Amino acid sequence: MQNGSGVAGAPGAAAPARSFGLDLPDYPWEAMAPYAATAKGHPDGAVNLSIGTPVDPTPEVVQEALRAAADAPGYPTVHGTRALREAVVEWFERRRGVTGLDEQAVMPTIGSKELVAWLPFLLGLEPGDVVVRPTVAYPTYDIGARLAGATAVAADSLDELDAETLARVRLVWVNSPGNPTGAVRGADELRAVVDGARSLGAVVASDECYAELGWGSWDVQRGGEAVPSVLDPRVSGGDFTGLLSVYSLSKQSNLAGYRAAFVAGAPELMPNLVNSRKHAGMIMPFPVQEAMRVALADADHVEAQKDLYRARRERLVPALEAFGLTLSHSEAGLYLWCTAGEDTWATVGRLAELGIVVGPGVFYGEAGSGFVRVALTGTDERVDAAVERLTRR
């Protein structure tokens, strides 16, 4: 070894340069800045229908529960209180037609997005493993695969994959009702996904956070069928092995700010998921657990909020069609998936000139090209403003 300042291995030598941070793509919504600026310049202000952020008040019954639980000096449990887990089980049976779920196979999560992002890692996926996600999908499914070093593959059916890829499938994401498309998978279609995944020994995780917001033939309050869960006996056959239902109260109960969500099913996987999250400190605060428990037991506020969204949807749909947009799917959830038969950014730009901000379909994968996503999450006043601008001649 040579001596002297600056020589490799010598005292005082500079360490080799090293980069830090995860190599993840830029957050896509930054690309919307110029369009948002154009919309903001409208004389009557912007109407932001680009992001599904609730704008209506958090139900008072939930606020009261949060206040009542505010004195919480001790650490909460990762697995959640037994009372909360039982409330989830009761909700599944009452609202989703799921029976036989054990409260031990339920766990609260800090919003559903973090569970979506971290599930591949928590399941122990590694390089070479494949995560299947819908062809038009929320970007976090891809991010979750990358965080685990796995590979995300876009497919709406396992039949689309070749034998080599199928052999590496470890996790299959289902999103029904879908974001951004609003597409709903019926029980038979879900059962086909489950059967195919089980033949591969893969886990099926179903992101179902819009399930209470079905429209048309899926609108329970108007005589329609309930959106089925992956845990529905018609889908699972009464066996929850390898099946996870992921749910959030952000949309149905205006609890996005509470980060109130849960995952249920797969009794053989839940103990390890709970243990891993204990080590990582992924714990829902106790007051939020109590607020979620109360929210799950109260159907009145859910149906009242759905009435608001239904009315906004019924005003927006004909206005968008009058503007020249055609709806695709949009059978459930808080979004209208539309196309004008042109480049996505051309539609985004034309709407921005009207002061209306929407979500570009290209943010949701190549199959979203040509589409835009229009959210129902505007106040009545802002939705009415959008309708007036869309139909103005």
Whether residue 352 is found in the same domain as residue 252: no
Whether residue 262 is found in the same domain as residue 360: no
Whether residue 144 is found in the same domain as residue 156: yes
Last residue of a domain, one of 297, 317, 344: 297
Last residue of a domain, one of 266, 297, 328: 297
Beta bridge partners of 328: 337
Whether residue 132 is found in the same domain as residue 271: yes
Last residue of a domain, one of 297, 318, 336: 297
In a domain, 19, yes or no: no
User: Domains in the chain: how many in total?
Assistant: 2
Whether residue 195 is found in the same domain as residue 283: yes
Q: pLDDT tens, position by position, for the chain (393 residues)?
A: 444 444 445 556 666 666 677 776 666 678 899 999 999 999 999 999 998 899 999 999 999 999 999 999 999 999 999 999 999 999 999 999 999 999 999 999 999 999 999 999 999 999 999 999 999 999 999 999 999 999 999 999 999 999 999 999 999 999 999 999 999 999 999 999 999 999 999 999 999 999 999 999 999 999 999 999 999 999 999 999 999 999 999 999 999 999 999 999 999 999 999 999 999 999 999 999 999 999 999 999 999 999 999 999 999 999 999 999 999 999 999 999 999 999 999 999 999 999 999 999 999 989 999 999 999 999 999 999 999 999 996
Beta bridge partners of 339: 326, 371
In a domain, 8, yes or no: no
Whether residue 87 is found in the same domain as residue 233: yes
Whether residue 119 is found in the same domain as residue 33: no
Number of residues that make up the chain: 393
User: Smallest Cα–Cα separation from 333: which of 120, 183, 187?
Assistant: 183
Whether residue 308 is found in the same domain as residue 280: no
Q: What is the pLDDT of residue 2?
A: 44
Write the CATH number for 227: 3.40.640.10
CB 66: neighbour CB atoms within 10 A? 19
In a domain, 217, yes or no: yes
Residue 157: left (phi > 0), alpha (psi -120 to 50), or beta? beta
Q: What is the pLDDT of residue 23?
A: 72
In a domain, 16, yes or no: no
* Residue 361, domain extent: 28-57+301-391
Q: What is the pLDDT of residue 30?
A: 80
Structure-block tokens of residue 186: 């019926």
Backbone angles phi, psi at 375, to 5 degrees: -85, 150
For residue 41, CA distances in Å to 48, 157, 320 come to 13, 44, 21
Q: What is the pLDDT of residue 11?
A: 58
Q: What is the pLDDT of residue 51?
A: 87
Sheet bearing 151-154, strands edge to edge? 106-110, 260-265, 243-248, 203-207, 169-175, 130-133, 151-154
SS in 3 state form for the chain? Answer: CCCCCCCCCCCCCCCCCCCCCCCCCCCHHHHHHHHHHHHHCCCCCCEECCCCCCCCCCCHHHHHHHHHCCCCCCCCCCCCCHHHHHHHHHHHHHHHCCCCCCHHHEEEEECHHHHHHHHHHHCCCCCCCEEEECCCCCCHHHHHHHHHCCEEEECCCHHHCCHHHHCCEEEEEEECCCCCCCCCCCHHHHHHHHHHHHHHCCEEEEECCCCCCECHHHCHHHCCCCCCCCCCHHHHCCCCCCEEEEEECCCCCCCHHHCEEEEEECCCCHHHHHHHHHHHCCCCCHHHHHHHHHHHHCCHHHHHHHHHHHHHHHHHHHHHHHCCCEEECCCECCEEEEECCCCHHHHHHHHHHCCEECEEHHHHCHHHCCEEEEECCCCHHHHHHHHHHHHCC
In a domain, 90, yes or no: yes
Q: What is the pLDDT of residue 165?
A: 97
Whether residue 206 is found in the same domain as residue 101: yes
Whether residue 327 is found in the same domain as residue 277: no
In a domain, 6, yes or no: no
For residue 350, CA distances in Å to 38, 346, 367 come to 10, 6, 21
In a domain, 5, yes or no: no
Whether residue 131 is found in the same domain as residue 80: yes
In a domain, 131, yes or no: yes
Whether residue 344 is found in the same domain as residue 237: no
Write the CATH number for 311: 3.90.1150.10
Q: What is the pLDDT of residue 10?
A: 54
